[in-house]
Structure 1
Amino acid sequence: MAPYEPEQNTNEAEAPRAGRRKAARYAVPVAVAGVAAATIGLVPALATSGDPKLPDVTAQELIEKIAASDTEQLSGTVKISTDLGLPSLGGGMTGGFAPGGGGGGGEDGEGSSADPQSKLMELASGTHTLRVAADGPDKQKLSVLDDAAEYSLIHNGDDVWAYDSKSNEAYHSKSAGKAGESGNSGDSGKKDLPKGVPSTPKELAEEALKAADDTTSVKVDGTAQVAGRDAYRLVIKPKQTGSTVGQITVAVDAKTGTPLKFTLTPAGGGSAVVDAGFTKVDFAKPSASTFDFTPPKGAKVTEGDDAKAEKHDFKGDAEEFKGEEDLNGLNVIGKGWNSIAELELPGGQGLPTTESGSGDMPQDAQRFLDSLGDKVTGKFGEGTVFKTRLINALITDDGKVYAGAVTKDALVKAANAAS
Structure 2
Amino acid sequence: MAPYASDDNTTAGEAGDPRAGRRRAARYVVPVAVMGVAAATIGLVPALADSGDPDLPKITAQQLVEKIAKSDVEQLSGTVKISTDLGLPNLGGLESGLLSGAARPDDGGSSADPSAKLTELASGTHTLRIAADGPDRQKLSLLENAAEYSLIRNGTDVWGYDSESNEVYHGTVAESARDEERRPPATPKDFAEEALKAVDDTTSVTVDGTAQVAGRDAYKLLIEPKQSGSTVGAISVAVDAETGLPLKFTLTPASGGAAVVDAGFTRVSFARPPASAFDFTPPRGAKVTEDGDLAGHHAERGERAPKSADGLAGGLGGPDGPKTIGEGWNTVATFDTGGEGLPAAGAGGDLGGFLDSLGDPVSGKFGSGTVFSTRLVNALITDDGTVYVGAVTKDALVKAAGAGK
* Same-fold call, TM cutoff 0.5: yes
Q: Structure 1 residues 110, 316: CA separation in 2 closer, same or farther (over 3 Å shift)?
A: closer
Query: How many angstroms apart in 2 are the aligned matches of 1:206 and 1:11?
Result: 21
| Matched-pair contact (CA < 8 Å) for 1:97–1:118 | no
Task: Tell me which residue corresponds to 1:377.
Answer: 363
The answer to whether 1:336 aligns with 2:335 is no
Report the AA paired with residue 333 of structure 1: I
Q: TM-score, normalised by structure 1?
A: 0.84
Task: Tell me which residue corresponds to 1:353.
Answer: 344
Deviations 1:57-112 (A, max 9, x none): 000000000000000000001111111112323445449999xxxx7422x22322
| Matched-pair contact (CA < 8 Å) for 1:22–1:335 | no
Query: How many angstroms apart in 2 are the aligned matches of 1:332 and 1:408?
Result: 17
Report the AA paired with residue 125 of structure 1: S
Q: CA deviation at 1:371?
A: 3.5
Q: Structure 1 residues 248, 62: CA separation in 2 closer, same or farther (over 3 Å shift)?
A: same
Q: Structure 1 residues 316, 273: CA separation in 2 closer, same or farther (over 3 Å shift)?
A: closer
Q: CA deviation at 1:354?
A: 3.6
The answer to whether 1:206 aligns with 2:197 is no
Q: CA deviation at 1:406?
A: 0.4
Residue of 147, 151, 154 corresponding to 1:153 = 151
Equivalent positions of 1:1-400 (< 5 A) are 2-7=1-6, 10-18=7-15, 19=17, 20-34=19-33, 47-48=48-49, 49-94=51-96, 104-106=103-105, 108-176=106-174, 196=184, 198=185, 200-314=187-301, 324=315, 326=318, 328-347=320-339, 349-355=340-346, 357=347, 359=348, 362-363=349-350, 365-400=351-386
Query: How many angstroms apart in 2 are the aligned matches of 1:81 and 1:303?
Result: 31
Query: How many angstroms apart in 2 are the aligned matches of 1:81 and 1:222?
Result: 24
Q: TM-score, normalised by structure 2?
A: 0.87
| Matched-pair contact (CA < 8 Å) for 1:142–1:153 | yes
Query: How many angstroms apart in 2 are the aligned matches of 1:353 and 1:272?
Result: 35
| Matched-pair contact (CA < 8 Å) for 1:11–1:57 | no
> When the two structures are aligned, how many residues end up with a matched partner?
386
Q: CA deviation at 1:340?
A: 0.4
Greater Cα shift, 113-122 or 136-145: 113-122
Q: Which structure is higher in RCO with an 8 Å CA cutoff and minimum separation 6?
A: 2
Identity across matched positions, percent: 61
Q: CA deviation at 1:129?
A: 0.9
| Matched-pair contact (CA < 8 Å) for 1:382–1:396 | yes
Q: CA deviation at 1:223?
A: 0.5
Q: CA deviation at 1:315?
A: 5.2
Q: CA deviation at 1:164?
A: 0.7
> What secondary structure does 2:10 align onto?
strand
Task: Tell me which residue corresponds to 1:42.
Answer: none
Query: How many angstroms apart in 2 are the aligned matches of 1:141 and 1:46?
Result: 19
Q: CA deviation at 1:210?
A: 1.3
> What secondary structure does 1:217 align onto?
strand
Q: CA deviation at 1:317?
A: 12
| Matched-pair contact (CA < 8 Å) for 1:123–1:199 | no
Query: How many angstroms apart in 1 are the aligned matches of 2:25 and 2:315?
Result: 16
Superposition RMSD in Å: 3.0
